[in-house]
């Protein structure tokens, strides 16, 4: 399951689709682990956008947090962090 809470960051529908496309690999890895819940929250404070990802799955749970001036850079970095952490969890279970 996946939930995107954009908070006070204004996202157009095309931006939401873009974020969903970036998260496809993380969703596949999470579904392979089982019991996958991903919650992404975005919050803008001043000139910085904070993106926080909370992950819960059968292998455990963890949180990733990034602050960047551009929301797209922050989400890209979160996606990279999620992929690497989920991949590491998968290798631990194997």
Q: What residues does each domain of the chain span?
A: 2-93
pLDDT in tens, 72-89: 999 999 999 999 999 999
Give φ, ψ of 23 to 5 degrees: -90, 5
Distance CA 68, CA 51 (A): 8
Residue range 55-60: mean pLDDT, rounded: 92
The two three-digit tokens of residue 77, written as one number:
């970095």
- Which CATH topology does 2-93 take? Double Stranded RNA Binding Domain (3.30.160)
pLDDT in tens, 9-25: 999 999 999 999 999 99
């Amino acid at each position: 399951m996946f939930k995107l809470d954009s908070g006070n960051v204004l996202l157009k529908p095309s931006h939401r689709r873009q974020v969903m496309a970036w998260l496809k690999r993380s969703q596949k890895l999470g579904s392979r682990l089982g019991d996958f819940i991903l919650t992404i929250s975005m919050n803008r404070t001043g000139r910085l956008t904070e993106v926080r990802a909370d992950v819960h799955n059968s292998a455990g749970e963890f949180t990733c947090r990034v602050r960047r001036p551009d929301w797209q850079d922050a989400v890209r970095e979160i996606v990279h962090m999620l992929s690497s952490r989920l991949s590491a969890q998968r290798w631990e279970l194997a």
